[in-house]
Chains A and B, each alone.
Chain A
Amino acid sequence: EAGVAQSPRYKIIEKRQSVAFWCNPISGHATLYWYQQILGQGPKLLIQFQNNGVVDDSQLPKDRFSAERLKGVDSTLKIQPAKLEDSAVYLCASSLDKLAGVSYEQYFGPGTRLTVT
Chain B
Amino acid sequence: GEDVEQSLFLSVREGDSSVINCTYTDSSSTYLYWYKQEPGAGLQLLTYIFSNMDMKQDQRLTVLLNKKDKHLSLRIADTQTGDSAIYFCAETPGPRRSGNTGKLIFGQGTTLQVKP
Contacts and interface: CB of A to CB of B under 8 A. Distances in A.
A56 B42 contact: no
Contacts of A42: 4, 88, 90, 106-109
B38 to A, nearest CB: 10
A67 interface: no
B31 A43 contact: no
Nearest to B50: A103
Interface string B96-107: 001011111011
A106 B103 CA distance: 9
Interface string A104-115: 111111110000
Contacts of B4: 42
B44 interface: yes
Contacts of B77: none
A44 B106 contact: yes
B41 to A, nearest CB: 6
Contact of B48 (A31, A103, A108, A111): A103
Interface in B74-98: 88, 90, 92, 98
Given A42-B88, A42-B90, A33 B41 contact: no
Chain B interface category by residue count: 20 to 34
B45 interface: yes
A93 B106 CA distance: 14
A64 interface: no
27 contacts: A31-B102, A33-B103, A40-B109, A42-B107, A42-B108, A42-B109, A43-B88, A43-B104, A43-B106, A45-B104, A48-B102, A55-B101, A91-B43, A93-B43, A98-B100, A98-B101, A103-B31, A103-B50, A103-B92, A105-B48, A106-B45, A106-B102, A108-B35, A108-B43, A110-B40, A110-B42, A111-B42
Interface of B: 4, 31, 35, 40-45, 48, 50, 88, 90, 92, 98, 100-104, 106-109
4 closest A-B pairs by CB: A42-B106, A104-B102, A108-B42, A98-B102
